[in-house]
Amino acid sequence: MTFDRRHFLRTTLASAFTFGPLSQLLALQGGAAYRENIGIQLYTLRNELKKDVPGTLKIVAEAGYKQVELYGFPNADALVSGAKDHGLKVNSSHFEWDSAVNPKDDSFSEFQKVMEKAKEAGLTHLVVPYLADANRKTLDDYKKTAANLNKAAEKAKAAGIQLSYHNHAFEFKPFDGGKTGFDVFVEEFSQDMQFELDLFWVKVGGKEPAELIHQLSGRVSQVHLKDLKAGIDVPNFGSLPADAFKELGNGIIATEPLLLAAEKAGVKHAHVEQDQSPDALASIKQSIAYLKSL
C-alpha cells in the first residue's frame, strides 16, 4: 500500500466513522489480528478438494492461511483431519442447515447430533450457510426461521458453540412495505444468535459493508472477504456472472476499512472466500498476498 493510499484511508475512515481514538487509526494496526490468523472458506476450493484433499490443504497452508472454515459438516471428516495435519486451525463450519432451520422435532435431535460431532472436531462456531426458497417467501417465513434459530442457538451456547447466520443478497430484497428478511433477522434474533456477514453479498444487496458491521457491533461473529467486479449494478437480487467474484484488491470493495470495522465490532474471525474462479488456487494466493500488502 502506498503512502498516499494510507493517507486517504486514514482521513476517510476518521471522518466517516468514530471507531476509536484517532491515534489507533493513524497506527493502521486495525485488522492485524485477522491478517495474522486469516482463514479460508473451503467451499472456494471445492473442485480441487474433490480431487486431492491433502494436496490442496498443503497448498492452503503454504500460501499462509492459518485456519479453514469447513463446509458440508458433519460430513467433513477428511477436511477436519487434513486441515489439522497441515497445522491449520478448524474453528468454524457451515453445516446441514435444515437440522436447525426445519427441525424434525422439538428437541432439535438432528441439530444435537451436529453439535456433538462439532465438539469432537473442536469447533467453536457453526454457521447456517443458506435458506431454501421455501423458507424465505414471506416475512413470516423469516420470523419462523429466526424463532427456530434462536432455539438452536440457545442449545449451541450451552455446548460452547456460537451459532450464526451467513447472508447472501436475497435477504436484503424488500417485501411490500419495504421491510426485508434481513430486517426481520436483526429484530428477531436473540442475543445468542449472531451473524456471519458475507461482505460481498452485503454490497450486492445494496448495503455498505463497513456501515452494516458498525450497526451490528457485538452481533457479528465472523466475516467473509471477497471482492466485486466493477460495473455490476447493485442492488442485484438475481444471478451474477461468474467473473463478478474477484480476488481481494481486484474489485470495488476496499478491504482495509472492513477489517477496521470488524475489529471495532468484536468480530472473531475473517475468512477469504471466492465463490467462482477459473483458477481457485491462484485466486486464494492472490487474495492473501493482497492482505499481507495492507
pLDDT for the residue 3: 37
Task: Tell which residue, 56, 249, 169, 159, has the closest CA to residue 68.
Answer: 56
Over residues 245-274, mean pLDDT: 98
Mean pLDDT score, 100-123: 98
d(CA 228, CA 115): 34
| Mean pLDDT along residues 58-80 | 98
- Report whether 90 contacts 67 (CB < 8 A): yes
Q: What are the grid coordinates assigned to 205, written together?
A: 444487496
CA distance 219 to 148: 18
CATH number at residue 68: 3.20.20.150
Let me know whether 177 and 247 are in one domain: yes
- Find the range with the poorest average confidence among 14-18, 138-142, 169-173, 198-202: 14-18
Domain co-membership, 219 together with 117: yes
Q: 17 falls in which pLDDT band (50, 70, 90)?
A: very low
pLDDT at 18 over 90: no
Asked whether the beta carbons of 232 and 201 are under 8 A apart, the reply is no
End-to-end CA distance of the chain: 6
Lowest mean pLDDT among 2-6, 11-15, 75-79, 185-189: 2-6
Q: Are residues 186 and 256 in the same domain?
A: yes
The Cα 1–Cα 290 span in angstroms is 9
Percent of the chain with pLDDT over 70: 90
Note if the pTM is more than 0.75.
yes
Question: Do 94 and 109 sit in the same domain of this protein?
Answer: yes
**Could you count the other beta carbons within 10 Å of the beta carbon of residue 231?**
8
pLDDT level of residue 260 (50, 70, 90 thresholds)? very high
Evaluate whether 63 touches 288 at the Cβ level (below 8 Å): yes
Q: Is 24 in the same domain as 74? A: no
Task: Give yes or no for a contact between 198 and 171, defined as CB atoms under 8 angstroms apart.
Answer: no
Query: Which one-letter DSSP state was computed for residue 70?
Result: E
- 36 and 92 housed in the same domain: yes
Check residue 29 and give its pLDDT.
59
- Verify that 7 and 79 share a domain, yes or no: no
Residues 55 and 65 occupy one common structural domain: yes
List the domain range (segments joined by +) for residue 25.
1-29
Residue 27 pLDDT exceeds 90: no
The three cell numbers of residue 151 are 432455539
